[in-house]
Amino acid sequence: MLARAGAPVVMIGRPAFVEAVKKNGLFLDTLQFQERVRVEAATDLSTIRGAEIVLFCVKTTDNAATARAIAPLLAPGALVVSFQNGVDNVEQIRAAAGIEALPAVVYVAASVPEPGLVKHVGRGDLVFGPRNDTTERVASLFERAGVPCRISENIVGELWTKLTWNCALNAVSALGKAKYGQIAASDDARRVVETAVHEVLAVARAADIHPPGLEDPKSALAGAFKIAGQMAEALSSTAQDMNRGKRTEIDSLNGYVSRRGAELGVSTPVNHALYALVKLAEGRS
């Protein structure tokens, strides 16, 4: 979307993706339009030299290695923005390489059926925070590219709101091989989602974190199923990873809630079960 709006963008990816984009551009099959966008692409991380903004979009399992790799390449004053699932990516990036990244919450349902093709099936908006010159500048950049942005004074809570939806839906989608709409239509699946949500909120309360709009468990559950309705045709990123035989981010989702709950003395049996089952399914228990 940034490149489509004329911003100078370089996408860094694996050889098959880069080859496809260099040859034919990046085809965006979205709910609003279908369009081929010409954008630069490269496989080499050194391409980030001189960049003003680096969107840190790797899987959470690659945080430390990627942060260490890019740290010596960053231009003075370069801004790194974490576009990732989970709530502790900024801390991981800082611990690994001393980079002070900006957290962002990403709401989008998309997949890459083949190199160079992005299939968009729901939402596509961002949350930054807190409000300051940096977050206003980044939000303005995306707004100009047609990506809705919101700035929140409670960005930690916003990250936990997204974590709640991820813990409610991702593993169930992966283990049940089900789209979000199918989960919402199943009474039994809804009971699993309900308990998972209540556990996440209990851990948040114990950690003195306040996810916006989730103070009431009933509204939190309604929010989970609203997300499922908005992204009814989506398979979770966890399901997509499992389908490709890739390692998932479950350690940063239900696994994180299980670990944090144990630290705080909060029982999280459903989140732990979902975490353990995904680990078994991906062969990394």
- pLDDT tens for each residue of 197-244: 999 999 999 999 999 988 788 888 888 898 888 888 889 999 999 999
Give CA–CA dist 149/151, Å, rounded: 7
162 is catalytic: yes
Of residues 22, 59, 119, 162, which has the active-site annotation?
A: 162
Q: Residue 269 corresponds to which amino acid?
A: P
**CB of 195 within 8 A of CB of 274?**
no
Residue with more model confidence, 143 or 229 = 143
Give CA–CA dist 7/137, Å, rounded: 14
Whole-model pTM: value is 0.93
CATH of domain 156-281: 1.10.1040.10
Listed by start position, the domains of the chain span: 10-152, 156-281
- pLDDT tens for each residue of 109-129: 888 999 999 999 889 999 999
CATH top class, domain 10-152: alpha beta
**CB of 172 within 8 A of CB of 277?**
no
- Residues 6 or more apart in contact with residue 117 via CB below 8 angstroms: 20, 26, 27, 29
